[in-house]
Every structure is written in C-alpha cells, then in structure tokens.
Structure 1
C-alpha cells in the first residue's frame, strides 16, 4: 500500500517485521526448503508449525522472562491451528510468504527513496526474526529510530508499556514532520 500511495504515508512503525534477508533466522531454512519443494516438505512443515511445542516457541522465543506470558496466548493459538483445514491454510500462507521475500529489494528501494519517519521496535528474543533485521532498516532509513527490547516476537506481550511510550512519542514527533 505504501508503494502504491507514498503520499499517504506520514511514518512507519515496525514491530518484529522483516524486509531484509538478514532478518530471517535459521528457522526459515525449513520454510525455504518448503518453498523449493512444497510437495515433499509439506507434511514436515504442517507437523512442525501446528505442533504445541512450535506454537509455544513462537510466543516465548528465547525470552528469559517467561513469567510475562499468559499461556493462553499459545494454547488458544494451538486450539485454532488444530481446527480442521487450518494446517492447509497456514501452509498455503507460508508458501505465499516467499513473495514477500522476493519483494524485499523493492521495499528497501522505496524506503531509501522516500525515507519516511520510521520507528522500529524489536524483541531481541524473537526466534523467527533476527535482531539484524531491525538494524537493517537503518541501511535504508539512516534516521530510523531502532529500539531493541527485552521481548520476543510478540513484543507487545512483554513490553506493552515501553512500546506504547515509544509509539506515543513517535506519533507526537510526526505532528511536526511535513511528509
């Protein structure tokens, strides 16, 4: 949407979302194998992605602050993922994600060209998206505000107040930005 209507973008807030290859952790190797050979890798991806252990891991990552998490977040997600048809839906979405990765260079070019005010908040314990993905935004937008937090992929579960304060401050500064 930003590429189609850059005039509508006043700023960008990114929370553990990649647009650079270096942001994809080693966990993405299994997903890349699936992209390369969906027929042979489908069952392995389904079994892994929809398992309770993998669902829990997506939420906790390597966080040392497990007490900050409500176990309902992953048990509810697991209940959803084990509903009939969900494994197929999720693996189809994962197959389509390769189009995002293919679009990274175009997104990076847009960021370099437009240099929108950018706030990046990133949980350093994210097992899926590496911290290098957060820092990479500065390659495209040198003035990007990048904050590495004591949190995982779902950083809002662990750093709600901190992220809210960063977003409020960023939005307040946007009021003075002519974009």
Structure 2
C-alpha cells in the first residue's frame, strides 16, 4: 500500500471511530483551584476552560459546595469557561463569625455578585441547584443582561415546590424564629445520616453514588460554629418565597433560555416545583430525571450531555 493510500485509510478510519485527534483536542481539561478576596471574605472557586470561552457560573446547594461539580467541570471545560465558587461558610471559602457577617441569602448573593466582577464574568449561563436558585435568581433579576441561559437542577422558584412534608418544620421556624425549640428541631438536618440521605434517597442505583461527597460535606458542616450558620440560613430561606413573583416576572419579561434537568425523586425539591416553569418560559427544555436531590452524582453524564447540546444552541455565541 502506498503512503498516500495509508494516510487516506487512516483518515477514513479516524472519522468512523471518532478518534480524539480528528474530532477534538485530546488533552484533558485541567481544573484550577483558586481564591479571590471579596470584601473581607476569601472566596474559593474551581475554574476550567479558556478565558475567552462562553462562561458558565455553577452555584451549589446545601449542604455542599463547589465539590458537587467536581465531575461536571471537566466535562464542560473543553468548550466553556466554567466557574464554581463556594459561598461564605461553605467549602473552602472563609467562614466569618456570625457577628461579623450576616448569613442571609441577600448577603450570599451580594458576595457572589461581587465575585463575578472580580473574576471578570461579564456574561454567563447559570447552573442553579437548591440554594443556588435563590442566589442565582437574585443575580439574574438584578442583571438580566448578563444571563445567557439558565440550567435548573432541583432549584425552586414557585410555591408549588415547597408544598410538601419536608418543609413543614422549616416553615414552623419561619413563623416563630425566636422559639428555641423551633430552631433546634432542624438540627437533625445537619447530621451525617441526613447528609447521606440527601445523596442517596431516590437514586435508582445507589452504588453509583460516591460516599466521598457526603463525607466531604459533613466534615465541613461539623466545623465549630457552622451549625449555627446553617440554622441562620434555614431561617433566611423564608425570605425567598416573597421574591418568587419578582423572579417569575424576570422569566416572563426577559425569557432566558432554560434547561430543566431535575431529579424527580427528590423529596426536598420535588418535581411539582419543576412544572410551573412551563407557565412563564417560552424557550424551555424540560427533563425529569430518574434521580434524587444531587442528580449529578448518579446522572452526571446525562446532565453534561444535555447541557452541551442546550448551551451550544443558546449560549455559545453570546
């Protein structure tokens, strides 16, 4: 066989097999771990991807941190600039004393808003999960021009999403925040059993869920004083439902493209909270996954694939 014929055969075979050298850069995505000062808070974040690529801001939930995105970041970082910060009191960010920093969702959002400016995120897609939704929707409604798209994974913006048994003791605390017994009734949510439950409940194949996530989260939850921080934020979560009409108006007015990738077996934010997004959004891709609260743990490849397709259509050129 001649040299030219050999090269032609190689090219045909590479195209058929999808050889990395023919289809994409085969070099692995390298995730960087950084810290930036925002006011008096050191904000830790994970980042990957080209600086000039379309950006994605990943916002974590309770009781975790940017570690929940440890597998998603390299799955997207070849094509996007992916940035995942830890909130104050979470992960590897500062944990200011409660008399120095008020742990409210307004303050978390202010820190993350300032963080985006520090790291020069001028336009970005949002990924919101759990606590990430009230943080992210505060950013989106304040700066609608910055948001290219939104990925929602078990992140609530409607009253229907809080109408279940899980929220009854939390709502009782909102009604009587000065009663110690109402606050103490929520301490069970800070235990290792509760953390593991969040990771494994509703998961079709629990053996796919690494125990490392829950162990990492619990180690940080168990830091002295962090329990009171979490209880403060349980109380502050009551500030979010009154903002739902504002966020829904943002959806209706600005019509961001939205991908719903929701673990339908979640007992904290059940699928009833996903359905109302259909009322307000015209460009909506809707997927209920056979997964639980932390759907990335069991369905991460599926979510990454949905995101690559969705963001390629709606965020890649903005």
- TM-score (norm. length: structure 1): 0.91
The CA deviation at 1:175 is 5.0
Q: In the alignment, which of 90, 94, 104 is matched to residue 244 of structure 2?
A: 104
Are 2:212 and 1:34 equivalent residues in the alignment?
Answer: no
Are 2:274 and 1:126 equivalent residues in the alignment?
Answer: no
**For the residues of structure 1 that align with 2:241 and 2:315, how far apart are their CA atoms?**
32
Structure-1 residue corresponding to 2:190: 50
Are 2:222 and 1:82 equivalent residues in the alignment?
Answer: yes
Structural RMSD (CA):
1.7
Size of the aligned set, in residue pairs, is 177
The CA deviation at 1:177 is 7.8
User: Secondary structure in 2 aligned to 1:122?
Assistant: strand
Structure 2: segments with no counterpart, 5+ residues: 1-138
The CA deviation at 1:155 is 0.8
**For the residues of structure 2 that align with 1:151 and 1:119, how far apart are their CA atoms?**
16
Find the structure with the greater CA-based Rg. 2
- Structure number having the greater helix percentage: 1
Structure-2 residue corresponding to 1:22: 160
Structure 1: segments with no counterpart, 5+ residues: none
Deviation string for 1:21-54 (max 9, x for gaps)? 11123201111011111223011112x1112221
- TM-score (norm. length: structure 2): 0.53
Q: Give the number of the structure with larger relative contact order, counting CA–CA contacts within 8 Å between residues 6 or more apart.
A: 1
Distance 1:106 1:175, change over 3 A: closer
Structure-2 residue corresponding to 1:136: 276
**For the residues of structure 2 that align with 1:45 and 1:168, how far apart are their CA atoms?**
38
**For the residues of structure 1 that align with 2:219 and 2:306, how far apart are their CA atoms?**
33
Deviation string for 1:31-82 (max 9, x for gaps)? 1011111223011112x11122211111122223211111222222222222
